[in-house]
Amino acid sequence: MRHWLLVGMALMASLATAQEAVDWSPLVEKVMPAVVTIVSTDARDIVQGSGFIISSDGKIVTNFHVVAGKPTILARRSDGSFLVIKGILASDKANDLAILQAGGRNLPFVPLGDSDGVKVGEAVCVIGSPMLLEGTVSAGIISAVRELRDGRKLLQITAPISKGSSGSPVFNRKGEVIGVASFILSEGQNLNFAVPSNAVKTLLRRLGIAFSPLPPSPTLSLEERFEQAYQEAIRTVQEDHEALRSLRLKDIAVAMAKAGQFDRALQVAQKIENARSLSSALAEIAAAMAKAGQMEEAAQTFQLALQVAQKIEDALDRSWALGGIAEALAQAGQFDRALQVAQKIEGAWARSEALKEIAKAMAEAGQFDRALQVAQKIEVALVGFGALREIAVAMAKAGQLDRALRVAQKIEVESDRSWALREIAVAMAEAGQFDRALQVAQKIEVALVGFGALRDIAKAMAEAGQFDRALQVAQKIEDAGVRSWALKDIAVAMAKAGQFDLALQVARKIEDESDRSLALSGIAKAMAEAGQFDRAVEVAEMIDDLIKRLQALADIIVVKRGKGNQEAAAK
């Protein structure tokens, strides 16, 4: 008896020594981005567990009991960002397994190993979120492989499992998931059990889903990516109702024009059924042509936009369509013609708005006196104050801060005055006068506008390289939406400064999907401007919204084309 006791003690000592000898840190660092915390809720309670991503398109494995009957499910990643769960692809109550589908592209994932090949005594580690302690790592061994009466198997492990660890991946030394942590026996000490990974494979195979992780998207050229995004956007837009379809087709047409594909932009525009959206699309295409130096084509397209607008039967829609054309002309620097179009607008409000946009364009071109003259012709007082606000903003951006403050003081409407002060504060911040900018921001009467000022000041600080101070100012913003927007601006500024990894970290923390998409678009463009076109395309592909992805790819094409022209000129 003593002999077998000594043998057992020696065996346990050897296993303990083997366990202690394993350095899990390289593996943990590699796989942590694919481990998630699962939070599911219903009207009665909130359940928290763990899970892990098994494919680049967002398939997540967790325990059935973590998500069963819960209409709302979120997955929080190790960097603090969230993945929205679109639905439960598959479930196996007997094995306590569920396969979730999250939104996302090119996500980090971990491979499923062969659980039939595990050996008792093999070293393993578990990564999960016990008791809300995200990213907790525990190590142990396979202490037994248990076969149940119905033929199912369980892996008994010594790695500790606590409440919240349900659904955690159990890794072998190769970094393969060989089990899914499921439950403990509270009556026993360190009796923890995991469902074998092959049960996950069986569940996926039964539903016709390949259990092999999906590889990243195939390498395509920028032009191929753009074409792919265009075709996908055109295909999906056909599912929208008429009004929304016209607006989305307009956005697609403008993106095509931005990328220099004017013929195709016009072809898309021809599919727009709503006349007001059509005239607006044509006007923006014409403006893009003018910026590209195609003045004759721009003139013809502007004329076509006018013809469409003038045929609109509804007077109000006709007025707003003409206003959009006047604005596009002004943006193209054709101020006289813009004023001529504005004079044809029947509605006083639409005419006033058009004049405001013309005054703004003039002020942005440095024609402040002429802009003030146009502003005086505006009939609707509220719109006139808005024009003064835009002029004050342009003056502030041009460095004429004192003159900008004098114009702002003439604004009687509190909201417009607040907006003007906001932009003046931002101009001060952009000039490096951060303390003075914050002082002006404190004078802003409208709270939300004040938050916007702080957002833009934070952006200016970030663009000046003061990232820590920018983040501090952003955290002072009480409104969640504006704070999210501020983080987007900071992330883009970081990217423009070449801090791409830091920018992506901040972008992943943005909860608002739209702001996160804009941040990724800005980062992709900055990467392209730095010549990192492949990486820029990868970031653009992370954008879920099809049209925003198309627009981001268009920006990359513009940058690449510009660099190509520069290289050709240099030769």
154 DSSP β-pair partners: 146
Q: Is residue 296 part of a domain?
A: no
Element (H, E) at 85: strand 82-92
559 domain residue, yes or no: no
Where residue 3 falls among pLDDT bands split at 50, 70, 90?
A: very low
**Is residue 6 over pLDDT 70?**
no
Of 499, 565, 490, residue with least CA distance to 532: 499
Which residues span the domain enclosing 170? 22-206
Q: What's the pTM value of the predicted model, to 2 decimals? A: 0.43
The whole-angstrom separation of Cα 340 and Cα 350 is 14
φ/ψ region of 125 (left if φ > 0, alpha if ψ in -120 to 50, else beta) reads: beta
**Is residue 66 within a helix (H) or strand (E), and if so which, with residue range?**
helix 64-67
pLDDT at 21 over 80: no
Condensed to tens digits (0 to 9), the pLDDT of residues 399-423 reads: 888 899 889 888 988 888 888 898 8
C-alpha distances in Å from residue 405, one per residue of 143, 409, 428, 442, 458:
75, 6, 12, 15, 21
For 541-562, give the secondary structure using H, E and C: CCCCCHHHHHHHHHHHHHHHHH
6-10, 178-182, 444-448: which range is least confident on average? 6-10
Question: CB neighbours (10 Å) of residue 176?
Answer: 18
Query: Which neighbouring-strand residues pair with 47?
Result: 40
How far apart are the C-alpha atoms of 430 and 461, rounded to whole Å? 8
Question: How large is the C-alpha radius of gyration of the chain?
Answer: 30
CATH number of residue 71's parent domain:
2.40.10.120
Separation between Cα atoms, residue 109 and residue 146, nearest integer Å: 28
Render pLDDT for 242-264 as a digit per residue (tens, 0 to 9). 778 888 899 999 899 989 999 99
Domain for residue 237, yes or no? Answer: no
End-to-end CA distance of the chain: 89
Mark 300-316 as b/e (b = at least 16 C-beta within 10 Å). ebbebbbebbeebeeee
Give the model's confidence band at 190: pLDDT under 50 very low, under 70 low, under 90 confident, else very high. Answer: low
Stated as kind and residue range, the H or E segment containing 282 is helix 275-291
pLDDT in tens, 306-345: 888 888 888 888 888 888 888 889 988 889 999 999 999 9
Q: Quote the Cα angle for 159-163-167, to 5°.
A: 70
Residue 96 resides in a domain: yes
Write the Ramachandran bin of 177: left for phi over 0, alpha for psi from -120 to 50, otherwise beta. Answer: beta
- Average pLDDT value over all residues in the chain: 85
- Alpha-carbon gap, residue 87 to 58, rounded angstroms: 11
Determine the Cα–Cα distance for residues 518 and 524; give it in Å rounded to an integer: 10
Q: Is 226 exposed, middle or buried (0-12, 13-18, 19+ CB in 10 A)?
A: buried
* Token duo for residue 529: 């401007």
Confidence of residue 199 (pLDDT cuts 50, 70, 90): very high
Q: Which residues pair with 101 in a beta bridge?
A: 59, 87
* Long-range contacts of residues 131-134, Cβ cutoff 8 Å, at least 24 apart: 131/162, 131/163, 131/164, 132/48, 132/164, 133/164, 134/37, 134/76, 134/78
For 192, list phi and psi in degrees, rounded to 5: -120, 145
The total of other beta-carbon atoms located within 10 Å of residue 551's CB is 23
| Cα gap 204→82, rounded to integer Å | 24
> Is 489 within a domain?
no
Domain count, the chain: 1
The answer to the question of residue 81 being in a domain is yes
- Angstrom distance (rounded) from CA 50 to CA 420: 49
Hey, which residues are catalytic here?
65, 96, 166
What distance in Å separates the CA atoms of residue 205 and residue 350, rounded to the nearest whole number?
A: 60
216 DSSP assignment: P
Q: Which of 34, 203, 202 is nearest to 106 (CA)?
A: 34
Is 136 a domain residue?
yes
Amino acid identity of residue 384, one-letter, is G
pLDDT band of residue 215 (cuts 50, 70, 90) is very low
In a domain, 278, yes or no: no
User: Residue 569: its pLDDT value, please?
Assistant: 63
